[in-house]
Amino acid sequence: MNESTFPGTEHVMGHLQDRHSAPEPAQPISTPPSSPPRPVTPPRGLPDNYAEMPKPTAKLTAEDLAPVNDPNGPRHKIGPTGRPQPDLPVPQPPTKTGPAQVIAMCNQKGGVGKTTTTINLGAAIAETGRKVLLIDFDPQGSASIGLGVQPHDLELSVYNLLMQRDITPDEVIQPTRVENLDLMPANIDLSAAEVQLVQEVAREYTLQRVLDPIIPLYDVILIDCAPSLGLLTVNALTASNGIVVPLECEFFALRGLAMLTDTIAKVQDRLNPKLEIVGILGTMFDGRTTHAREVLDRVVQAFDERVFHTVIRRTVKFPETTVVGEPITTYAPSSQAATQYRDLAKEVLARCPAG
Ligand SMILES: Nc1ncnc2c1ncn2[C@@H]1O[C@H](COP(=O)(O)OP(=O)(O)O)[C@@H](O)[C@H]1O
Ligand SMILES: [Mg+2]
């Protein structure tokens, strides 16, 4: 077919033909003396001014010999949040049980790692010898499923405790396969509580009333909140001393955070003055992308010391643990993911001293 049959394409075809039929004259190989010298590109990974940097000497200086993990040392390791990584004390086994610190995992955004953090932080704290209770406070029952409990098979759940005064916590709480780790499971019934609680007197204090008698029996109680800022979440915040906010390290992570901090401020003001943000946790961090590091930088700019030094990296191990119904600390005890949750446990325990 002849190209010229397509009207409007003549100039393109003409150009292509020109390129083929009339090649440009060859360029001279040597650069003309007037052109500026080509900048030297530093080898990959080195700073632009590497040429002016002092050359390494064979003798080691005091700085070279300083321990890498000394927080005051000059070569102290910079962590994924861009700040020096402190050495966290290894939690010692407790000498007595309770009263429990109650900590809510809260972010009204779904899929940010609330449930994963509740299960794995809980299991990592239980490993230190502390008695831990996980409260599934999401009608989807993901924390229950993640610990191998089928929500639709439950006869009694946290819903019954909230709505029926004659049910006691020991009728609902179940042990898990992990030592020192108990579960107060939930299922879809809980979604009805959100509506039914509206009629109750002191409706925001309902969960606190349920938890009061079991506070002396545990060292740490973690509440897995639903992805909303409704009455259930307000109940969780009213019953807690602390909040951990998991944030997925992605572009929209900070969106909606103002609404969350506003809700926290209102609960502190009107319902629970002892509520504090224990920390902001970066989750699903992918250190290979500059994007994830930028997001984390912005979170540190906004929340400074409240951001945990520990960051949870993205790994397929977490979806796998849901399938097997156990925490990462028992499913893959020596994995990086298990280590990260143990580090988080150290940070949380250091920030919330017992008692
Ligand atoms: N660090 C991680 N790396 C990879 N996947 C993760 C990680 N943390 C959580 N996930 C997965 O992301 C999904 C959402 O996590 P989840 O903890 O259920 O969030 P939320 O409770 O906030 O909705 C789940 O499928 C979970 O297995
Ligand atoms: Mg969840």
First to last CA, the chain: 87
Structural domain of residue 190, as residue ranges? Answer: 101-351
CA of 225 to the centre of ligand 1 (A): 14
- Residue 32 has a pLDDT of 52
Average of per-residue pLDDT values in the chain: 85
HEC string for 240-288: CCEEEEEEECCCCCCCCHHHHHHHHHHHHHHCCCCCEEEEEEEEEECCC
Q: Is residue 344 part of a domain?
A: yes
- Tokens 């990959």, located at residue: 44
pLDDT of residue 23: 47
Distance (Å) from CA 318 to ligand 1 centroid? 7
Q: How far apart are CA 204 and CA 186, in angstroms?
A: 18
Q: What is the pLDDT of residue 256?
A: 84
**pLDDT averaged per 10 residues, the chain (length 355):** 43 42 49 56 48 48 50 66 88 93 97 97 98 98 96 96 96 97 98 94 96 98 97 98 95 87 95 96 91 90 93 94 94 96 96 74
What are the pocket residues of ligand 1 if the criterion is a CB atom closer than 6 Å to any ligand atom?
110-116, 142, 227, 283-284, 312, 314-315, 318-319, 322
Which of 112, 114, 116 has the most ligand 1 atoms within 8 A of CB, as the residue to mutate? Answer: 116
CATH number at residue 293: 3.40.50.300
Q: Report how far residue 203's alpha carbon sits from residue 271's, in angstroms, rounded to the nearest whole number.
A: 11
> Could you tell me if residue 1 is inside a domain?
no
Task: Let me know if residue 34 belongs to a domain.
Answer: no
Structure-token pair, residue 107? 């972010």
Single-letter residue type at 240: S
**Within a domain: 30:** no
Q: From residue 211, give the alpha-carbon distance in Å to each of 99, 101, 122, 167.
A: 11, 11, 17, 12
Encoded amino acid at 118, one letter: T
Residue 85 resides in a domain: no
With H, G, I as helix, E, B as strand and everything else as coil, classify residue 313.
strand
Q: What is the pLDDT of residue 52?
A: 55
CA of 184 to the centre of ligand 1 (A): 20
Residue whose tokens read 């910079």: 78
- Ligand 1 atom at minimal distance to the Cα of residue 107: 22
* Interatomic CA distance for residues 347 and 308, integer angstroms: 7
Residue nearest to atom 12 of ligand 1 (CA): 111
Please state the domain count of the chain: 1
Helix H segments across the chain? Answer: 10-21, 62-65, 114-126, 142-146, 158-163, 169-172, 190-196, 206-211, 231-238, 257-270, 290-303, 317-324, 328-331, 336-351
Residue 18 belongs to some domain of the structure: no
- Bridge partners of residue 153, in order along the sequence: none
CA 200/CA 178 separation, integer angstroms: 36
Determine how β-strand 181-184 pairs with β-strand 132-137: parallel
State in Å: Cα 163 to ligand 1 middle.
30
Flag whether 23 is in a domain. Answer: no
Residue to substitute in 318, 321, 331 for testing ligand 1 pocket (most ligand atoms within 8 angstroms of CB)? 318
Q: Which ligand is nearest to the CA of 320?
A: 1
Q: Chain-centre distance of CA 13, in angstroms?
A: 57
Task: Give 128 Cα–ligand 2 centroid separation in angstroms.
Answer: 24
CA of 226 to the centre of ligand 2 (A): 6
Q: Which ligand is nearest to the CA of 338?
A: 1
Distance from C-alpha of 92 to C-alpha of 129, rounded to nearest angstrom: 8
Give domain status of residue 6, yes or no.
no
Query: Ligand 1: which atom is nearest the Cα of residue 316?
Result: 4
Alpha helices (H) along 3-140: 10-21, 62-65, 114-126
Cβ atoms of 249 and 282 within 8 Å: the answer is: yes
Structure letter (DSSP) for residue 335: S
CA distance 120 to 35: 62
CA 66 / ligand 1 centre spacing (Å): 38
